[in-house]
Amino acid sequence: MTPAELWHEAARRGLRLEPRGDKLAVIPANRCPREFADTLRTHKGELLSWLEARTDGLSADCVPWLHVARQVLAGEFDGADRSTVESLIIGVRGIQHPHCQQALIRLQGRDQSGGAAKS
């Protein structure tokens, strides 16, 4: 399911989804069935990015890059080859969001050092 479909399903069930930092709040939590909670956990990263993008007024095509920016900041692309780093830079550089700008700085530091992270 896409983040939008999950959001609509939550609404249909009388639930509200809210980002709380790196956590996903389900309100009211006691009305969320275990199997749906498991589905939300599986898609938490995409849901958080989608909800944050909606709140910040970003277009739908920016949502995946917001998720990628979170992955960059979490170190999931540490050790990536130069071509991958360059592709990531191209993807996040035009998105005016703090996570994307922080990821861009991190990626540019890696790109200038030949792929090794700068401390």
Mark 62-74 as b/e (b = at least 16 C-beta within 10 Å). bbebbbbbbebbe
Q: How far apart are CA 36 and CA 8, in angstroms?
A: 12
Is a pLDDT exceeding 50 seen at residue 117? no
Q: What is the pLDDT of residue 113?
A: 58
Tokens 């700008």 correspond to 101
Q: Which residues contact 117 (CB under 8 A, 6 or more apart)?
A: 78, 106, 109, 110
Taking the domains of the chain in order of start, what are their residue ranges?
A: 1-57, 59-119
For 44-73, what is each residue's pLDDT tens digit?
Answer: 999 998 898 888 888 888 888 988 998 999
Q: What is the pLDDT of residue 21?
A: 82
Is a pLDDT exceeding 80 seen at residue 30? yes
Q: What is the pLDDT of residue 52?
A: 85
Q: Which residues contact 28 (CB under 8 A, 6 or more apart)?
A: 15
| Mean pLDDT of the region 88-105 | 93
Task: Give the pLDDT band of residue 114 (cuts 50, 70, 90).
Answer: low
Is a pLDDT exceeding 90 seen at residue 86? yes
Q: Which residues contact 84 (CB under 8 A, 6 or more apart)?
A: 77
Class of the CATH domain delimited by 1-57 = mainly alpha
Q: What is the pLDDT of residue 49?
A: 86
Q: Which residues contact 72 (CB under 8 A, 6 or more apart)?
A: 88, 92, 103, 106, 107
Average pLDDT of the chain, as a whole number: 89
